[in-house]
Amino acid sequence: MNDYRCVAETVKLGKDVKLSQFVNLYGCEIGDDTKIGAFVEVQKNAKVGARCKISSHTFVCEGVTIEDNVFVGHNVAFINDSYPRSTTAEGELQTEEDWKVETTLVKRGASIGSGSTILPNVTIGENALVGAGSVVTKDVPANTIVAGNPARILRTSESRPGGK
């Protein structure tokens, strides 16, 4: 029976990871007790911490680090190239040698709303909340709520709903 999951041998899965059908994981690390939804891709050299929830249709590209206890809503896209091109100046199809991966860090306890786009070279701080549909173009401070395109600070919150 085919369960429609593509998990490469190069993936480091923690204990009690829950994978939905139709996931594509390769060369990445997934921490203990994390749940990965359907139609999620996590690329090589990406890291997802423990006790995270990555909702369906999300793309986590190379260069993204997601720390522990992070929620990522449905259809979130991480970007790792500020100036993407398909070809070199000579007109040849680009290869990995033709570009440099740009990184993104999502710190412990952050939440990213559905439909958000996270541009490269940003840090989303601890317990920060990114509103649904936001485009994050610069760092988000810890304990801050941002929303919009581009995402702007709405307010700060010293304590997370739900306690911890």
Distance of CA 155 to the CA centre of its chain: 23
Percent of the chain with pLDDT over 90: 87
Active site residues: 57
**How far, rounded to the nearest angstrom, does the alpha carbon of residue 3 sit from its chain's CA centroid?**
24
Residue 104 near residue 62, CB atoms below 8 Å: no
Model pTM score: 0.92
- The answer for residues whose C-beta is within 8 angstroms of residue 96's C-beta and 6 or more apart is none
pLDDT tens per residue across span 4-40 = 668 888 999 999 999 999 999 999 999 999 999 999 9
Which residues lie across from 25 on neighbouring strands?
Answer: 7, 42
> pLDDT for 34-93, tens place per residue?
999 999 999 999 999 999 999 999 999 999 999 999 999 999 999 999 999 999 999 999
**What are the tokens at 11?**
């993936």
The predicted model gives 124-148 an average pLDDT of: 98
- 3 state DSSP class of 40: coil
